[in-house]
Structure 1
Amino acid sequence: MARILLAEDDGSLRGFLTRALERAGHAVVDCENGDDAVDALDHGPFDLLLTDIVMPGADGIEVARIAAARHPGIRIMFITGFAAVALTAAQATPQAKVLSKPVHLRDLVNEVERMIAA
């Protein structure tokens, strides 16, 4: 079981992701924006940050930078619906995984499992 920090501004998607990850046996702390995710980092440690890139407050790339500084070794996965933003995220944090929306919940859970096992 991993402890996952999820940052996603779309409430319905955040709920689906949280439930899917919890069903897979993970503990999830979910946040509706980047600023809340940055605050939640104080309640770590977390094994994985799963974050949207484009959202209110701190964007996902900034959240990832702060998470990596506060929790060395945290794994980072971005989800985004914007191809150009995905490229920027991949360049900014090359160790991170970038998934494009829409993403099938099973595929997302499988990628999470792979990242945690690595």
Structure 2
Amino acid sequence: MKVLIVESRPELGMLWTRHLERQGYAVKQAQSQDDAVAYLSTDQADIIVLDLVLKQGSALAVADFASYRHPDARVIFVTDTTFFSDGSIFNHASNACAFLPAGTPPEDLAAMVAHYGGH
């Protein structure tokens, strides 16, 4: 299964990447909207782990582009803010399947990837 991690903080993205790779996933990283869109323009992802607050660009634009380009891809949103904490993210992104705090342990994130990725 292919996983795209879109996370502005390289150290957090690497933590998740290493853990998911140990679980057998093919993982790519992007740090901005432009990086994520460039990747999704030429390749696919089954699951996208997407930080809701990117330093460069919009997470909702990434989710929207993924929905258009790869309609079967699911998005797991992560954040360290209270923005969308009411669950309204599911009204804004049709491909959203989960909403987690950024501090979620990597093994729990991997379990969510497995669950929503069908493995």
TM-score, length-scaled by structure 1: 0.90
For 1:95-106, list aligned pairs within 5 A.
95-96=95-96, 97-106=98-107
Contact 2:4/2:29 (<8 A) preserved = yes
Q: Higher helix proportion, which one? A: 1
Task: Supply the RMSD in Å over aligned alpha carbons.
Answer: 1.6
CA distance in 2 between counterparts of 1:92 and 1:13 reads 25
Deviation at 1:56, TM superposition (A): 2.5
CA distance in 2, matches of 1:4, 1:59: 19
- Amino acid in structure 1 at the alignment position of 2:103: P
Q: Which amino acid aligns with 1:100?
A: P
Matching residue's letter, 1:91:
N
Q: Which residue of 1 aligns with 2:59?
A: 60
Is the partner of 1:85 in helix, strand or coil? coil
Structure 1: any 5+ residue segments left out of the alignment? Answer: none
Query: Which residue type is aligned with residue 32 of structure 1?
Result: Q
Query: Which 4+ residue blocks in structure 1 deviate beyond 4 angstroms?
Result: none
Structure 1's 33 and 88: CA in aligned 2 closer, same or farther, altered over 3 A? farther
Q: Specify the code of the residue in structure 2 equivalent to 1:89.
A: I
Percent identical pairs in the alignment equals: 28
* Residue number in structure 2 paired with 1:73: 72
Map of 1:117 onto structure 2: 118
* Map of 2:40 onto structure 1: 41
